[in-house]
Structure 1
Amino acid sequence: MGRSSGVSSGASGGVSRVVEVSGIRLVYDVWGEPQAPPLVLLHALGEDARDWARTAEALAEQWRVYAVDLRGHGRSDWPGDYSLELMRDDLVGFLDALGLERVDLIGHSMGGIVAYLFAQEHPDRVGRLVLEDVPVPLPREAVPPNRPEGELGFDWDMVVAVRKQIDSPDPQWWDRLGRITAPTLAVAGGSTSHIPHERITEWPRRLPDARVVTIPAGHLIHAVEPDAFTEVVQTFLRTPPREERHPH
């Protein structure tokens, strides 16, 4: 278990707080009423929780929204030890520290991988899952990342470690996709995204309850088309479970 404490005002009306999980400080922003149903947002590689500010503010009208700086990113600790599995385990500790037993989960790109790894290992803790421009875990051609000039808002060692896993996913990730029981929405960015469309349309073939919506905005869907992204997400999150839609 970790411990949570207040920090400061966050982005666009959110409140920034910190939680300690297994010796790692994770900073997160939170919006919405405490009694509202919980929704957790996980950012892409090289981003942080503040990337979600506009989306979170809109979703906070109905949900209690939590956006986390994953390890090696932004205001959270940069411990030097990185993997997508460690980020998944950090998410477990984060939810435990806040007393969140079951949440809806949205992940963009790398954050989507963390989200589906969590949903594989803890299917009972995910109500609904949204994967924003996230491909199924198949190998891809590895292009070594080039470090940008100047000071970075993330640990470059983290980028190197995580990119290796994204390029050559653990085969168990694929084998365990069937463990995901949450209704899943895969949002594709269309032809201008670097993610092959066929690797997103594969999700409904691999999961028991999944659908695909395309918003032709490229990889940064929620940033380029925030209103369209928010609308499809809200519609999905409000949709009753399949068993409620088709009573016996």
Structure 2
Amino acid sequence: MVAKTPIRHSNSGEGPPVILMHGLFGAGNNLGALARSLADRFCVYSLDLPNHGRSAWMKNAALQRMAGAVSTWMDDEGLESAALAGHSLGGKVAMELALAQPQKVDALVVADIAPVAYPPRHDAVFAALDAVVAGACRSREEASGIMAQYLGEPGVIQFLLMSLQRGDDGVYNWRFNLEGIKQDYAALRAEPDVIEAYAGPVLFVKGGESDYILPEHRARVLELFPRAQLEIMADCGHWLHAQQPAVFNDIVGRFLDRTLAGPKQAPR
């Protein structure tokens, strides 16, 4: 008997399948509000990506390998194809899968990330995470205080604290594979390993105050995703699904309603 891919997930609802993928340092429940808003008409799968949440840890977790793990998970679950929606890192993994295996992707939603290589931008986050490990914290309050020495945004600290778990010895550690993420950080920032353009329907959702999707990315987006549309959420940063959940959920829901309501046409 072949072992199933060690990706943990939750699912809810009935209808056409939609797979949700979270961002760096996150877990499947980060997109819980979106999942709940879609579950009345779609079968929604919320994944913990490899090295995150309760999924298994993976060595050399480049985008290609993470997308491959999601593809294998789809096979294990009997999903021939599905719509994909991903935020940040999850959006990159979703784009990678759509470009490599377009027959498995009915539609694609990419939240505040572009198919380009990014410079390092998480040095302070890594320093805060390492400091929590070194501090052998015995309470979330202690961990929060340590991170506040490195991070000035309380929302980011609260987001990271969601992945803190208490060990049998009473010391808190990160649920995600911190050392693995640090080792693979350059590979996770890379642009997709392109096979050919994805011809299916694609929606990019940008936070109006975020610098993750820029005008100079437009040509690359349309080269890889010629049917791409763009929605901009005003007065919103990179964490658009948490900052304005009702608006974000409505944008994604309307796109999926339009693209998945009719007869399925597999992208070529």
With the shorter chain as reference, the TM-score category is 0.7 to 0.9
TM-score normalized with structure 1 length: 0.79
> Compared with structure 1, are the counterparts of its residues 56 and 240 closer, same or farther at alpha carbon in structure 2 (3 Å cutoff)?
closer
Q: Is the 8 A contact 2:197 2:223 kept in 1?
A: no
Aligned AA (1:126): V
Equivalent residue for 1:210?
Answer: 228
Q: Which has the higher contact order (CA 8 A, sep 6+)?
A: 2
Superposed, 1:38-57 pairs within 5 Å as 38-57=17-36
Structure 2 Cα separation of the partners of residues 2 and 78 of structure 1: 19
Secondary structure at the aligned position of 1:164 is classed as helix
Kindly state the Cα deviation for residue 214 of structure 1 after the two structures are TM-superposed.
0.5
Kindly state the Cα deviation for residue 201 of structure 1 after the two structures are TM-superposed.
4.0
Unpaired segments ≥5 residues, structure 1: 4-19
TM-score normalized with structure 2 length: 0.73
Higher radius of gyration, 1 or 2 = 2
Match of 1:68 among 47, 67, 70: 47
Q: Is the 8 A contact 1:82 1:161 kept in 2?
A: no
Match of 1:100 among 60, 75, 79: 79
Q: Is the 8 A contact 1:130 1:187 kept in 2?
A: yes
Secondary structure at the aligned position of 1:128 is classed as strand
Equivalent residue for 2:208?
Answer: 190
Kindly state the Cα deviation for residue 78 of structure 1 after the two structures are TM-superposed.
1.8
Kindly state the Cα deviation for residue 222 of structure 1 after the two structures are TM-superposed.
0.9
> Compared with structure 1, are the counterparts of its residues 163 and 198 closer, same or farther at alpha carbon in structure 2 (3 Å cutoff)?
farther
Secondary structure at the aligned position of 1:188 is classed as strand
Equivalent residue for 2:249?
Answer: 230
Structure 2 Cα separation of the partners of residues 106 and 211 of structure 1: 14
Unpaired segments ≥5 residues, structure 2: 134-172, 264-268
Task: Tell me how large the CA RMSD over aligned residues is.
Answer: 2.4
Aligned AA (1:195): Y
How many pairs align?
216
Kindly state the Cα deviation for residue 142 of structure 1 after the two structures are TM-superposed.
3.0
Secondary structure at the aligned position of 2:54 is classed as coil
Q: Does 1:141 align with 2:119?
A: yes
Identify the range of structure 1 (124-133 vs 144-153) with the bigger mean alpha-carbon deviation. Answer: 144-153
Equivalent residue for 1:77?
Answer: 56
Structure 2 Cα separation of the partners of residues 58 and 156 of structure 1: 31
Q: Is the 8 A contact 1:204 1:211 kept in 2?
A: no
Structure 1 Cα separation of the partners of residues 202 and 184 of structure 2: 24
Secondary structure at the aligned position of 2:205 is classed as strand
Percentage identity across aligned positions?
27
Kindly state the Cα deviation for residue 153 of structure 1 after the two structures are TM-superposed.
2.4
Q: For each residue in 1:24-53, what CA deviation from the matched residue of structure 2 results, as whole angstroms up to 9, or x when unmatched?
A: x221010112xx110000110100101111
Secondary structure at the aligned position of 1:87 is classed as helix
